[in-house]
Structure 1
Amino acid sequence: MSSEAVGRYMPAVVTLDDLTAMMAADEHHRYESTPEGALSIMPPPGYTHAVIATRLMVWLAQGGIPADRLAQAVGLRIPGRHGGVGGRIPDLVVWSKEQSDGVWLPVADVLLVVEIVSPGSEGVDTVTKRSEYSAAGIPQYWMVDQDQAQTVTMHHLDGDRYAVRASMPLAWVLNTDPAEHDLG
């Protein structure tokens, strides 16, 4: 199908319901949008990506974060500065309390969002999502590079922007206590 044909059937503004329908129809891609309505389509994560997310999730659970406050690849409703709402699917989320069921959860109780940077997503993860998550008031944003050290860059909210608190190899992070990272 040509891009013109696809564009003809796209709604003028992509809603979270539209994203949900697209994901239900296409299990081979992730669909996200900015609060301004820009659509992102990504392939599913690869093996290394999935292992990094799993290692962090196991570390958090073993460190005392209850399983009902952890989730991989769950949708977050990202409010925009001008009333729009976007949808992001972080690789890992930690909440301060259990959430109700849903496809696009609010960010009000989010303590930490982790994004594992994949080839091709560098700009979105390091600039766009960092800006959206800080504007949404999410206290911590960690980015994990898929370099040899699997470098984790830990950002914490300082006013309305993120400041880098630490940057270290994933192996070092996994040898700390999650309680040292203010995850409630």
Structure 2
Amino acid sequence: MSAEAVGRYMPAVITLDDLAAMISADTHGRRYETSPEGVLSVVPPPDSERVVIATRLMAWLITAGVPVDQVMQVAGIRIPGPDGDGGRIPDLTVWSKPQERAVWLGVTDLLLVVEIVSRGSEAIDQVTKVGEYAAAGIPQYWTVGRDPALTVTLHRLSADGAYEQTAQMPLGWLLQTSPGDHLPQY
């Protein structure tokens, strides 16, 4: 189907319900996200490297004592904006308490968002989402690069509401530390 044909049937404003319906209808495992401004992103299904990175981080968190029901992979989060809510689906999230069952979770109890940078989405993961997640008040945002070291960049929300980079290290180094060294109380 051509982009023109798809665009003909696309609603003028994509709601989170529309986004959930698009995700349900997709038989190829793509992720659909929108910014709070309504910009649609379509991300290909995760490759095996991305899945292994997310699994290693999740195992590290759980082994160190983060409760299993407070760590989620690919949970939809509602990103508030002035003109409506956006919806993002990070690779990994850590919460201060278990969440109610929902397609799009609010960010109130969200402590950490981890995005494993996708080839082709570097600007969204490393620039756009930095601003969105900071504006939403999420205390920490980490990105994992796809370079040979799998460089993890840790951002912490500062008093002025912007993220400041607090550390950058290879994933292997991070996994040798305690999550408690990096996370607020979970």
Same fold (TM over 0.5): yes
Q: Which residue of 2 aligns with 1:33?
A: 34
Deviation of 1:2 (Å): 2.0
Amino acid at match of 2:54: A
Pair 1:108 & 2:108 matched: yes
Residue 11 of structure 1 is matched in structure 2 by: 11
User: In 1, Cα distance between the equivalents of 2:27 and 2:84?
Assistant: 26
Paired residue for 1:138? 138
User: 1:94 — aligned with what?
Assistant: 94
Q: What do the CA deviations read for 1:37-61 (whole angstroms, capped 9, x no partner)?
A: 1100010110111100000000000
Q: How many residues align?
A: 183
Q: Secondary structure at the match of 2:100?
A: coil
3-state SS of 1:179 partner: helix
Q: Which residue of 2 aligns with 1:176?
A: 177
Residues in 1 aligned to 2:165 and 2:129: alpha-carbon distance in whole angstroms: 15
Give, as a single letter, the amino acid of the residue that structure 2 aligns with 1:183: P
Structure 1 unaligned regions, length at least 5: none
Q: Hey, what does 2:148 align to over in structure 1?
A: 148
Q: Secondary structure at the match of 2:22?
A: helix
The answer for the alignment partner of 2:71 in structure 1 is 70
Q: Distance in 1 between matches of 2:177 and 2:7?
A: 48
Q: Report the Cα offset of residue 83 of structure 1.
A: 3.4
- Which letter does structure 1 place at the counterpart of 2:91? D
TM-superposed CA distance for 1:118, in Å, is 1.2
AA matched with 2:146: Q
How far the C-alpha of 1:168 sits from its partner, in A, is 0.3
Residue equivalent to 2:164 = 163
Identity %: 61
Offset of 1:182 from its aligned partner? Answer: 2.5
TM-score (norm 1): 0.97
Q: Secondary structure at the match of 1:112?
A: strand
What is the root-mean-square deviation of aligned Cα atoms in Å? 0.8
Show the counterpart of 2:60: 59
Instruction: Return the TM-score normalized by structure 2.
Output: 0.96
Question: Any idea what SS the aligned residue of 2:156 has?
Answer: strand
What displacement does 1:4 show?
1.7
The structure 1 segments of at least 4 consecutive aligned residues displaced by more than 3 Å after TM superposition are none
Separation in 1, partners of 2:27, 2:18: 14
